[in-house]
Chain A
Amino acid sequence: MAAAARSQVMSLYRTMLRESAKFPSYNYRNYALRRVRDAFKANRNVEDPKAVERLMEEGWQTLALIQRQGESETSQQTSLN
C-alpha cells in the first residue's frame, strides 16, 4: 500500500516545490522550499496508512495555500504611492 502511494507522495512533493519556487518574495520563497523539504524528510519513515493519509491531506491543503498566497502576492500593487 505504501509503495503504491509513494509515487503520489513524490508527485505531491515535486508539485509543492514547483509552486513554492513561484513566490516573488525571497524570504517566503526560501522558507516554503525549505519547510516543504524538511517536512517530507521528517516524515519519510511513516508507515501507518492512516497517518500517511492524514499527512497527504495536509500536504494538499498546504499546496492550495501556497498557490493562493503566491497568486495574491503577484497580484498586489507594489509601488509605494
Chain B
Amino acid sequence: MLASGRTVSSRLLRPTAWLPLRLSSERTAASFPQKELIKKHEQDEPRPLYMDFQATTPMDPRVLDAMLPYQVNYYGNPHSRTHAYGWESESAMETARKQVADLIGADPREIIFTSGATESNNMAIKGVARFYKAKKRHVITTQTEHKCVLDSCRILESEGFDVTYLPVQNSGLLDLELLEASIRTDTSLVSVMTVNNEIGVKQPIKEIGQICRSKGVFFHTDAAQAVGKIPISISDWKIDLMSISGHKIYGPKGVGALYVRRRPRVRLEPIQNGGGQERGLRSGTVPTPLAVGLGAACSIAQEEMEYDHQRVSMLANRLVQKVMSEIPDVIMNGDPEQRYPGCINLSFAYVEGESLLMALKDVALSSGSACTSASLEPSYVLRAIGADEDLAHSSIRFGIGRFTTEEEVDYTAEKCIEQVHRLREMSPLWEMSQEGIDLKSINWTQH
C-alpha cells in the first residue's frame, strides 16, 4: 500500500503521468504578452480572410459584452421561481425575447427559444404537420430549401404525408401561380425560405403569405439568412411561423428562435417534451447567456440594418464589378435584383470550383452550403435553378458581412482574377473554346 491511499493499480491507470504535459501554470498573465503573440501569429501564418458569412458570422463584440455577465455571475436557471438567481435570469431572458420580437414585429409571447434554426425548422414542419394530420395530409415546400427542411419533409413522407417539392425558375424565384395551383384542400403547411443561403435569392414572401392566408394554409419561412439583414414584418407578410438563427446575425452559436403566431393560433405538436418550458412547445432550460446574446444580436441588427445594408451592397458591387470586368465567362447564379447583396454565387466557366478554392487558400470561401460541401456532388440548389452540370461544379460563394473591409474585398477580387487566369491557361477546355469549338457539340468517347 503506497502513501496517500494510492494503490499500485491506480498508478498504472494513469498512463498520462509520463507524457510531456503542457505546464501552463508556469506562465502568468504578466509573462505572456498576448497582444504581441496574436500579432506575431498573424505575421507568421496569417489566418485567411473571412469571406464566408453565410456559413457563420463572428460574434459582434457588443453581443459578447452583453453575454459575459450571464456566463460568469448571473448564472441562475431562469425557470427557478424561488430566488433572486432565477428572477434575474428570467428577467434577462424576457428582455432578450422582447428584443427578438421587436426585430420582426411580433409579440414577445410568440417567440420560442430553440437551439438554432435547424431545430426551429424541425419543430415547425413536423410539429404543424403532425398536429393537423387528422384532416390535412399535404405539405408544400421548394427544391431550394435548406437540408433540414427537406429532410424533415422526407421524414413526414415516411409517416404517410404527401409532400410537394416545388421547382423554382432559373432565377431561383418561386412561380406564384404554380404555388397557388399546388395548394389542395388538405394542405396544412407551405414552407419557403426568405433568403437562400447558397445563391442569396430573396423569395416574394409577401405575395406567398397573401396566397397562403387566402387559402387558409399555414405559412412557414426559414428566415435564418434574412433576419436582421432585411426589414421583416410578420404581420405585413402574413407569416405564421419563422425560424431564426443566432450565429447568422453576429450572435452566439447554439441558439435560435421560432416565431409561432398566436392570432390566429398556430398549434404544433412539440418534438421535445419535458417540463413545459416555452409554452410547452420546447421543453428544456433556456440557456440564459445564449438567449441574451441572441437578443443583443437582434437589437444591434435592428439599429445597424440600414448602415450594414448600404455597406454590404457597396462592397458586393465592388467585388462583382471588379471580377466580372476582368474575367470573361463568369455567371452570377440567382436573380440579379431579388437578392440579398451579401451572398454572391459566381460560376467561372472552364475552371473547376474545388481547384479555385484551393488556389484561393488565403481567403475563406465555400462552394455551396457548409452542410453539403463535404460531398462531391454539385449543390442541389444550383441544379434546381437549372445551372449546367459543369457550371455547377465551378461555382464559388462569396459572403460579405458587417466586418468585411474594402481591402479584403479588393484582395479577394484580385486573387480570384489572377487564379482564374492561371487555371484557365492550364485548361484544355478553355483552349478549345478560345479556338471557337462549341464544347456541347463534342462527342466524348471512352478509351
Contact = CB atoms under 8 A, between A and B. Distances in A.
Interface in B74-111: none
Contacts of B38: 24-25, 74, 78
27 contacts: A24-B35, A24-B38, A24-B39, A25-B38, A26-B405, A27-B50, A27-B58, A27-B403, A27-B404, A27-B405, A28-B403, A30-B405, A31-B403, A32-B61, A65-B62, A68-B65, A69-B61, A69-B64, A72-B64, A74-B34, A74-B38, A75-B29, A75-B34, A78-B34, A78-B38, A78-B41, A81-B22
B402 interface: yes
A57 interface: no
A75 B405 CA distance: 25
- Range class of the B interface residue count: 20 to 34
Nearest to A39: B307
B37 interface: yes
Chain B at the A interface: SS class:
helix
Contact of B61 (A26, A28, A38, A74): A28
A81 B21 CA distance: 11
A74 B405 CA distance: 22
Interface in A1-53: 24-28, 30-32, 38
Interface of A: 24-28, 30-32, 38, 65-66, 68-69, 72, 74-76, 78, 81
Nearest to A68: B65
A31 B41 CA distance: 21
A76 B34 contact: yes
Contacts of A78: 34, 37-38, 41
Contacts of A81: 22
A72 B35 CA distance: 11
A18 to B, nearest CB: 15
A65 B34 contact: no
